Amino acid sequence: MAKQLSLEQIVNCGVNETIAAAILSQINHSLASLSAIECWQYFSREILKPNHSFSLHELLYQTVFAEWDVDRGFPPVWIPSQEQIQATNIAALMDELNLASYSELHTWSVKNRAEFWEIIIRRLNIRFKEKYTQIVDLSQGIESPQWLVDARMNIVESCFQAPQNEAAIIFQPEGGSLSILTYGELEALTNRVANSLVNLGFSLGDCLAIAMPMNAESVAIYLGIIKAGCVVVSIADSLAAEEIATRLQISKAKAIFTQDYILRAGKQLPLYTKVIDAEAPKAIVLGNNSSLSVKLRQQDLSWSEFLSSKEQFEAIAVHPHAYTNILFSSGTTGKPKAIPWTQTTPIKCAMDGHLHQDIHPGDVVAWPTNLGWMMGPWLIYASLLDRATIALYYGAPTGREFGQFVRDARVTMLGVVPSLVNTWKTSSCMQGLDWSAIKAFSSTGECSTPNDMLFLMSLAGYKPIIEYCGGTEIGGGYLTGTLVQPCAPSTFTTPALGLDLAIVDENGYPADKGEVFIIPPSIGLSTELLNKDHHQVYFADTPSATLRRHGDQIERLPNSYYRAHGRVDDTMNLSGIKVSSTEIEQVLNTLEEVCETAAIAVSPPQGGPSQLVIYVVVAPQVQTDKDRLMTSLQTAIKQHLNPLFKIRDLVIVEILPRTASNKVMRRVLRDRYRHYVNQIN
């Protein structure tokens, strides 16, 4: 018989004694008579409510699954009903193909890749000026597939197929109220941007940067640049001036769109001044509340000076392989990889949103993000190509006002990074909000912890989480989930539709745990880099010529689900942003009190987002004050890299372990630190 709970245990979770007594008999009867999975389904649907304290959710979950063998995978917290399955886009596709199960659909999508993508293009109603003669040409090998042969298109035309009076963007400034931009209004603003670019003399293929927060204007600027046949250069607004300069130089950007400052938690964070310090080219500067708080350089323009009044524009049709966007992802050399997206990459974004996150016309999609991270463009395409609404909150997503925005905007799909969820759980800031409109969550950017994901599901009456793992060079995910499979916290259920993967051990043999490789081709996969050798980065020295390197360590569980274990190499994921050890060390090694450093990322023993640990050898004759040194190092990272990178711990050592060729052995440091943490715990 399953363990029985007492009235005291329920009351200690903050439940009123009368209510606790009323539900106790139901709880203990279910524990005694139902299987663990049946019991949890009953509790999550009939007993537990979002306004209950999370401690009650935890108590019931831990009691139900006390004897569960986690080595075979975490227990499912959400199981779709037949009615829920039939309402999905995946079910509609399975019916169209006369396939009986999801596993059959995935197998079919891999074996029939050209036909799969042709169906997706039809389902999304992608528009062409000239139709393709062939979906894919592999005559140049799987490293260089030619998608949509002979077509001419502009992907922005396909972003405006929803009714003109439907909401394209719901947005809210910090401390403000909800506003709506319709599809017709967004298209008009997009066209005004495109006309303005032509008026300034920009032409086909010119690169134009955006260093702005994610707001309605930046979405229109993004789409307007592409509609005019130009190329967006995505730059995160949190980057230091020297990092902005690096990206402008690599892309050879001819202009930059920016803002005078960013308003976060009541603070004004200068942005235009960073752009000036980066010695940026011509800047078009937006002001907060329609007015500028800064004096512009002579060559720069205000938004009102720039913006044309003409609201019609004929999209410039280009080849499918023409660039639309240059994004940046850190490698292990300290220099960011410049990854171009083409006219076809958005189709991958929209497919993932359509089938994996199950976005339907009229849905409202929120994902706190930035155009400098791939999820910014992803959000635009996964929403607009699927005829849904983008929900944008302009303030910090860490507090209750963001949760109220999610409630008021009636968000149906909410994307997160796990560290954000942990912040909500720690502060209890989302307690009692009505998130009943949410149909699904999605989590990406870093490894999540089961407890944090259980908490997230509890906020909306136990809705599923689509764990989503991919990259800028994929245009979306390679490992993900669906709404037709049971959801277990912190686990993936499937490779993305249209592609497959292989897991190999350190000797190159198939394994259930090891380095993951993607089996191409797929729309969305990059075929070139602007500043590195694409073949060397992704295909050289792989276990097979048909495999593409990605660099994640993945475990296939006995239930055929998957669990992520972080990066194989020394590239870290900090707060959902990839950064190399080298980049961090180059900044820290410039400090006078530092001789040398080694930066590592370590996952907590219980799992979860990677945490930054710095090993440091102090300079000779320096009096070591750990707290002061920690402050200096953190300040250097904030000023020269990214304020989101927080040092979790600092370890002062006399010497760093090195190989015979004098390379720092960061793997050894990671092992040492894990051993140290295990000892103190």
DSSP state of 355: I
pLDDT of residue 551 exceeding 70, the answer is yes
Answer yes or no: are the C-beta atoms of 541 and 550 closer than 8 Å.
Answer: no
**Start-to-end CA span in the chain (Å):** 33
Model pTM above 0.85: yes
Asked, as a colleague might, if the bond just before 620 is cis with ω within 30 of 0, I would say no
Answer yes or no: are the C-beta atoms of 48 and 57 closer than 8 Å: yes
Domain that holds residue 656: 570-680
Kindly report the number of other CB atoms within 10 A of residue 663's CB atom: 9
**Smallest Cα–Cα separation from 256: which of 294, 200, 216, 312?**
200
Residue after which a domain boundary falls, among 553, 586, 616: 553
54 with 185, same domain: the answer is no
**CB 92, CB 51: distance < 8 Å:** no
Domain CATH number, residue 649: 3.30.300.30
Q: Give the model's confidence band at 3: pLDDT under 50 very low, under 70 low, under 90 confident, else very high.
A: confident
Identify the domain boundary among 525, 553, 581: 553
Give the per-residue pLDDT at 673.
87
Q: Which residue has the tokens 């200068």?
A: 270
Q: For 482, which DSSP code?
A: -
**Which tokens hold the place of 484?**
């037709």
601 belongs to a structural domain? yes
Residues 504 and 614 in one domain: no
Instruction: Kindly report, residue by residue over 476-508, the tens digit of the pLDDT.
Output: 999 999 999 999 999 999 999 999 999 998 888
- Comparing 241-245, 288-292, 605-609, which segment has the lowest mean pLDDT? 605-609
| The pLDDT of residue 269 is above 80 | yes
**Max CA-CA distance within the chain?**
79
CA-to-CA dists, residue 664 to 596, 599, 615, angstroms: 10, 10, 11
Strands 500-504 and 513-519, bridge-based pairing:
antiparallel
For the chain, the domain total comes to 3
Same domain, 447 and 574: no
* 440-443/465-467 β-pairing: parallel
Average pLDDT over residues 339-344: 98
Looking at residue 291, its pLDDT comes to: 76
On whether residue 73 sits in a domain, the answer given is no
Q: How many CB atoms lie within 10 A of CB 126?
A: 22
Helix or strand run (H / E) with residue 20? helix 17-33
20 Cβ neighbours under 8 A, 6+ residues apart: 7, 10, 11
For 596, 654, 674, the CA distances from 614, given in Å and listed in that order, are 10, 13, 13
In this predicted structure, what is the pLDDT of residue 660? 43
Find where tokens 């949190």 sit: 238
Bridge partners, residue 182, by sequence: 167
Q: Are residues 576 and 544 in the same domain?
A: no
Is pLDDT of 661 > 80?
no
Q: Is residue 497 part of a domain?
A: yes
Coil, strand or helix: which one is 174? Answer: coil
* Whether residues 674 and 543 fall in one domain: no
Task: Give per-residue pLDDT as tens, 172-226.
Answer: 999 899 999 999 999 999 999 999 999 999 999 999 999 999 999 999 999 999 9
Is 314 found in the same domain as 342? yes
Is 123 in contact with 96 (CB distance < 8 Å)? no
pLDDT digits (tens, 9 = 90+) for 279-301: 999 999 999 876 788 899 999 99
Residue 164 counted as domain residue: yes
Q: Within this chain, do residues 604 and 501 fall inside the same structural domain, yes or no?
A: no
What distance lies between CA 82 and its chain's CA centroid? 29
Residue 576 — very low, low, confident or very high, per pLDDT cuts 50/70/90?
A: confident
Residue 379 falls inside a structural domain: yes
CA 258 to CA 212: how far, in whole Å? 5
pLDDT-derived band at 332, boundaries 50, 70, 90: very low
Q: Say how far apart CA 512 and CA 120 lie, in whole Å.
A: 31
pLDDT of residue 178: 97
More confident call, 458 vs 569:
458
Query: Are 536 and 576 in a shared domain?
Result: no
DSSP 510: B
Confidence at residue 663, expressed as pLDDT on a 0 to 100 scale:
62
Give the DSSP per-residue string, 192-241: HHHHHHHHTT--TT-EEEEE--S-HHHHHHHHHHHHTT-EEEE--TTS-H
Distance, CA of 496 to CA of 103 (rounded, Å): 11
Residue 485 domain-assigned?
Answer: yes
Residue 268 parent element (H or E):
strand 267-270
Ramachandran area for residue 639 (φ above 0: left; ψ -120 to 50: alpha; else beta) = alpha
Instruction: From 48, 65, 82, give the residue that closes a domain.
Output: 65
- 136-172 pLDDT, tens digit per residue, is 999 999 999 999 999 999 999 999 999 999 999 999 9
The predicted-structure confidence for 348-379, as pLDDT tens digits, reads as follows: 999 999 999 999 999 999 999 999 999 999 99
* CATH at residue 254: 3.40.50.12780
124, 158 contact by CB (below 8 A): yes
Q: Are residues 221 and 322 in the same domain?
A: yes
Question: Would residue 112 count as lying in a domain?
Answer: no
Give mean pLDDT, residues 621-627: 81
In a domain, 564, yes or no: no
Q: What is the mean pLDDT of the chain?
A: 92
- Where is average pLDDT lowest: 260-274, 304-318, 581-595? 581-595
Do both 509 and 587 map to the same domain? no
Q: Confidence class of residue 333 from pLDDT cuts 50, 70 and 90? A: very low
Which runs of consecutive H residues, i.e. helices, occur in 34-177? 36-42, 54-64, 82-86, 89-97, 102-111, 113-124
| Mean pLDDT score, 223-252 | 95
**Higher pLDDT among residues 16 and 335, named by residue:** 16
Q: How confident is the model at residue 434 (pLDDT cuts 50, 70, 90)?
A: very high
8-state DSSP, 485: S
Same domain, 467 and 610: no
CA dihedral 355, 361, 362, 363 (to 10 degrees): 10
Residue 583 CA to residue 576 CA, distance in Å, equals 16
Q: What is the pLDDT of residues 390-418, one digit of tens each?
A: 999 999 999 999 999 999 999 999 999 98
Does 529 share its domain with 624?
A: no
Provide the strand spans (E) within 585-625: 594-602, 611-618
Q: Which amino acid is residue 99, in one-letter code?
A: L
Amino acid of residue 198: V
